[in-house]
Amino acid sequence: MNIIEIKQLNKYFGEGDNRTHILKEINLEIKKGDFIAIIGQSGSGKSTLMNIIGCLDSLNSGSYKISNTEVSQLNSDQLSELRQRKFGFIFQRYNLLSALSALENVALPAIYAGVDQQSRLQRAAQLLEKLGLKDKLQHKPNQLSGGQQQRVSIARALMNGGEIILADEPTGALDSKSGETVMEILQQLHAEGHTIILVTHDKKIADFANRVIEIKDGQIIQDQRKSAHIAAKSETIQPKKSRWRFYKDQFIESFKMSVNAIIAHKLRSLLTMLGIIIGITSVVSVVALGNGSQQKILENINSMGTNTMDIFNGTGFGDRRAERMQNLTVADSEILAKQSYIESATPNSSVSGNLTYRNQSFSAQVRGVGEQYFDVKGMKLKQGRLFSQDEVKQNAQVAVIDENSVKQVFNQQNPLGEIVMINKKPLKVIGVAAMNSMGPTTSSLSIYTPYTTAMNKISGNQKIDSITVKVNDEVNSSVAEKDLTQLLEVRHGKKDFFVMNTNTIKQTIESTTDTMKLLISSIALISLVVGGIGVMNIMLVSVTERTKEIGVRMAIGAKQSNILQQFLIEAVLICLIGGITGILLSMLLGEIFNLVTTNFTMVFSTTSVLAAVFCSTIIGVVFGYMPAKNAAGLNPINALSRE
Ligand SMILES: Nc1ncnc2c1ncn2[C@@H]1O[C@H](COP(=O)(O)OP(=O)(O)OP(=O)(O)O)[C@@H](O)[C@H]1O
Ligand SMILES: [Mg+2]
Question: How many angstroms separate the alpha carbon of residue 233 from the centre of ligand 2?
Answer: 30
| Residues 269-285 pLDDT 10s | 999 899 889 989 988 89
**CA dihedral sign, ordered 159, 163, 166, 170:** positive
| Mean pLDDT of all residues in 543-548 | 91
CB of 258 within 6 A of ligand 1: the answer is no
pTM of structure: 0.74
What is the model's pLDDT at position 505?
80
| Mean pLDDT of all residues in 298-324 | 77
User: What mean pLDDT value characterizes the chain?
Assistant: 88
What is the model's pLDDT at position 19?
92
Ligand nearest to the backbone CA of 51: 1
Strand 35-40 relative to strand 195-200, pairing: parallel
Question: How many angstroms separate the alpha carbon of residue 232 from the centre of ligand 2?
Answer: 28
- Top mean pLDDT of 20-34, 289-303, 359-373 is at 20-34
Own/partner pairs for 592-601, CB < 8 Å, 24+ apart?
593/289, 599/296, 600/292, 600/293, 600/295, 600/296, 601/292
Question: How many angstroms separate the alpha carbon of residue 202 from the centre of ligand 1?
Answer: 17
What is the model's pLDDT at position 403?
86
* The residue type at 82: L
29-33, 240-244, 312-316, range with the lowest pLDDT? 240-244
| Residues 112-153 pLDDT 10s | 888 888 999 999 999 999 999 999 999 999 999 999 999 999
**Beta-bridge partner residues of 164:** 87, 195
**CA dihedral sign, ordered 611, 262, 562, 628:** positive
Q: How confident is the model at residue 230 (pLDDT cuts 50, 70, 90)?
A: low
56-60, 492-496, 550-554, 583-587, range with the lowest pLDDT? 492-496
Ligand nearest to the backbone CA of 41: 1
| Dist CA 388 CA 131 (whole Å) | 103
What is the model's pLDDT at position 26?
94
Question: How many angstroms separate the alpha carbon of residue 46 from the centre of ligand 1?
Answer: 8
What is the model's pLDDT at position 232?
57
Is pLDDT above 60 for 235? Answer: no
Atom of ligand 1 nearest to the CA of 49: 18
**464 CB-near residues (< 8 Å, 6+ apart):** 313, 326, 328, 329, 330, 332, 333, 347, 348, 349, 451, 455
**Beta-bridge partner residues of 168:** 199
What is the model's pLDDT at position 264?
83
Q: H/E/C letters for each residue in 441-497?
A: CCCCEEEEEEHHHHHHHHHCCCCCCEEEEEECCCCCHHHHHHHHHHHHHHHHCCCCE
| Mean pLDDT of all residues in 185-209 | 91
What is the model's pLDDT at position 327?
84
**7 CB-near residues (< 8 Å, 6+ apart):** 27, 62, 63, 64
| Dist CA 643 CA 627 (whole Å) | 19
DSSP 161: -
- Top mean pLDDT of 58-67, 319-328, 458-467, 504-513 is at 58-67
190-194, 383-387, 471-475, 553-557, range with the lowest pLDDT? 471-475
What is the model's pLDDT at position 529?
87
| Dist CA 133 CA 126 (whole Å) | 10
Ligand nearest to the backbone CA of 20: 1
Q: pLDDT above 90 covers what percent of the chain?
A: 40
Q: Do 314 and 496 meet the contact criterion of CB atoms below 8 Å apart?
A: yes
| Dist CA 349 CA 368 (whole Å) | 5
| Mean pLDDT of all residues in 355-362 | 88
Atom of ligand 1 nearest to the CA of 637: 1
| 333 membership: H or E segment, kind and range | helix 330-338
Instruction: Please choose, from the candidates 352, 358, 346, the residue with its C-alpha nearest in 3D space to the C-alpha of residue 386.
Output: 346
Is pLDDT above 60 for 483? Answer: yes
Testing ligand 1's pocket by substitution, the residue of 15, 44, 53, 92 carrying the most ligand atoms inside 8 A of its CB is 44
Task: Give the residue, by CA position, lying nearest to ligand 1 atom 28.
Answer: 43
More confident residue, 37 or 520: 37
Question: How many angstroms separate the alpha carbon of residue 213 from the centre of ligand 2?
Answer: 15
Task: Give the residue, by CA position, lying nearest to ligand 1 atom 7.
Answer: 13
| Mean pLDDT of all residues in 462-472 | 86
What is the model's pLDDT at position 600?
80
More confident residue, 529 or 155: 155
Q: How confident is the model at residue 56 (pLDDT cuts 50, 70, 90)?
A: very high
What is the model's pLDDT at position 249?
81
Task: Give the residue, by CA position, lying nearest to ligand 1 atom 1.
Answer: 13
**Beta-bridge partner residues of 2:** 31
Instruction: Please choose, from the candidates 120, 86, 83, 90, the residue with its C-alpha nearest in 3D space to the C-alpha of residue 103.
Output: 120
DSSP string for residues in 563-608: HHHHHHHHHHHHHHHHHHHHHHHHHHHHHHHHHH--S------HHH
Task: Give the residue, by CA position, lying nearest to ligand 1 atom 3.
Answer: 13
- Top mean pLDDT of 114-118, 287-291, 619-623 is at 619-623
CB of 48 within 6 A of ligand 1: the answer is yes
What is the model's pLDDT at position 168?
92
| Residues 163-179 pLDDT 10s | 999 999 999 888 989 99
Q: How confident is the model at residue 237 (pLDDT cuts 50, 70, 90)?
A: low
Q: How confident is the model at residue 632 (pLDDT cuts 50, 70, 90)?
A: very high
Q: How far apart are the first and last CA of the chain?
A: 38
| Residues 67-124 pLDDT 10s | 999 999 999 999 999 999 999 999 988 999 988 999 999 999 998 888 888 999 999 9
Q: How confident is the model at residue 440 (pLDDT cuts 50, 70, 90)?
A: very low
Task: Give the residue, by CA position, lying nearest to ligand 1 atom 24.
Answer: 42
Question: How many angstroms separate the alpha carbon of residue 278 from the centre of ligand 1?
Answer: 50
Is pLDDT above 60 for 52? Answer: yes
What is the model's pLDDT at position 236?
57
Question: How many angstroms separate the alpha carbon of residue 370 from the centre of ligand 2?
Answer: 103
